[in-house]
Amino acid sequence: MSEYAASHKMESRFLSLNDTQELHRMHVGDREFVFTGADRVQAQIRGNAMRAARRRPKLVLAAHPNLAPLLR
């Protein structure tokens, strides 16, 4: 996703249910991944997703079936 976004000059942001709530940065090779955790609190990840949706993303990928209702 990150590589696709970069190749199309798009910003990418990842949301994680299981990581702590602060903003995280992870490097794999020369690629940086930025993600926000929700500390296993489903209401928190829903709030994070709603805030991200306000930015009018062009592409959304929900990598877990329980997140699909957020994409309606």
Helix (H) / strand (E) containing 3: helix 2-7
pTM above 0.75, yes or no: no
Euclidean distance between CA atoms 70 and 72, whole angstroms: 6
* The predicted structure's pLDDT at residue 24: 92
Note whether residue 46 is domain-resident.
yes
24-44: pLDDT as tens digits: 999 988 888 889 999 999 899
> Residue 60 sits in which domain range?
2-65
Is the pLDDT reported for residue 67 higher than 70?
A: no
Note whether residue 60 is domain-resident.
yes
Is the pLDDT reported for residue 71 higher than 70?
A: no
Note whether residue 70 is domain-resident.
no
Note whether residue 72 is domain-resident.
no
User: How many folded domains does the chain comprise?
Assistant: 1
Note whether residue 71 is domain-resident.
no
- Phi and psi of 20, rounded to 5°? -65, 160
